[in-house]
Amino acid sequence: MMVPVVVLPDPAAAARAAGAIVAWELRRAVGERGHATLALSGGSSPATMFAELARLGVPWSAVDIVQVDERLAPAGDPARNLTTQRAELPAEARIHPMPVEDADPAQYAPAVGDLDVVHLGLGEDGHTASLVPGDPVLEVADVDVALTGEYRGHRRMTITYPAIDRARTIIWLVTGEGKADVLARLLAGDPSIPAGRVAQDRAIVVADAAAASEVA
């Protein structure tokens, strides 16, 4: 199955487009079921997407937001994804923080459940969420939330493949020339990179022109 790829000229335009798609999917879920659950990734690229979501009038009172992943760091630490998410999303957004201070993924699993929308990023090494190359977390198949080993200075809590693959819609936001090779491998379903193992049947990729330069 070919994954739809939406290509925009620059990172900001791609982030705004991803925000518009996420907002549309959330409105649809709320309209159909009265409620929606959104899983958000961290990183630098999504800040513009979060701001677009704040602008678009999402029905926040009917949306629960869970984290895709989080560093095991103290509350308020700038390394925490939660710090950016709270800064960019509106005050009424109901964000459920991962309990990284307790480092207990079992506490968080009930919040994940069946996700309507998962927003994912893509690292230059092919990781997504905190599903990183070589980590035992890649083989976790019986729980929705798990801890990783240390990666770039932090252990992390992450949702796992089963939770991602159950989602009704997966939105990838991929920007930057350094992602061109791994984006092509993701779209080819290359299982040698963690991102390539994510289910593709309900996925949409939003990329800037630089990241999409090797996409046929």
Indicate the range of 31-40, 52-61, 115-124 predicted with least confidence.
52-61
Give the model's confidence band at 116: pLDDT under 50 very low, under 70 low, under 90 confident, else very high: very high
In this structure, are residues 44 and 129 in contact, taking their beta carbons and an 8 Å threshold?
A: no
Give the model's confidence band at 1: pLDDT under 50 very low, under 70 low, under 90 confident, else very high: low
| Res 210 pLDDT > 80 | yes
What per-residue confidence (pLDDT) applies to 74?
A: 92
> Order of strands, edge to edge, in the sheet holding 69-71?
69-71, 156-159, 145-147
Give the model's confidence band at 80: pLDDT under 50 very low, under 70 low, under 90 confident, else very high: very high
| Res 216 pLDDT > 90 | no
| Res 146 pLDDT > 90 | yes
Give the model's confidence band at 79: pLDDT under 50 very low, under 70 low, under 90 confident, else very high: very high
- As a whole-number percent, the residues of the chain with pLDDT over 90 amount to 91
What per-residue confidence (pLDDT) applies to 134?
A: 97
| Res 76 pLDDT > 90 | no
* Selected residue with higher pLDDT from 1 and 116: 116
Where exactly are the structural domains of the chain? 5-208
What pTM does this model have? 0.96
| 3-class DSSP state of 207 | strand
- As a whole-number percent, the residues of the chain with pLDDT over 70 amount to 100
The stretch 3-11 carries a mean pLDDT of 97
Arithmetic mean of pLDDT over the chain:
95
In this structure, what are the phi and psi dihedrals at residue 156, rounded to the nearest 5 degrees? -140, 160
**Separation in Å, CA 168 to CA 15, 72, 116, 160, 193:** 20, 28, 5, 15, 23
What fold, for 5-208?
Rossmann fold (3.40.50)
- Checking DSSP bridges between strand 156-159 and strand 145-147, what pairing results, if any? antiparallel
pLDDT digits (tens, 9 = 90+) for 152-187: 899 999 999 999 999 999 999 999 999 999 999 999
